[in-house]
Amino acid sequence: MPTYVDLEKCDGCKSLGKEKGTSACLEECPVECITLVEDDPSTAPLGRYQHAVINNEECTDCEVCIDVCEQKAIYMVEAE
């Protein structure tokens, strides 16, 4: 199933005090299919400085990222 990041909810783990370049989902992903993209805090939602991007071709649907996301910004959608 494709996994998505809700960019209106994702704050790049800024609210958790994570430093730029790391996030809970990135740290916990067992197949390393998550990358972080830099944002301009002056224009990004929630004043975030980064957000997660999931490579669905590498994702194994383990749902670890969903479980660790404090913002509830990661979800799966069943393919039609």
3-class DSSP state for residue 30? coil
Beta bridge partners of 1: none
pTM metric for this prediction: 0.89
CA distance 47 to 32: 26
The dihedral through the CA atoms of 35, 25, 32, 76 has a sign that is negative
| Percent above pLDDT 90 for the chain | 85
Report whether pLDDT(20) > 80. Answer: yes
pLDDT at 80 over 70: no
Average pLDDT value for the chain: 94
pLDDT beyond 90 at 78: no
Write down all domains in the chain, each with its CATH number in brackets. Answer: 3-76 (3.30.70.20)
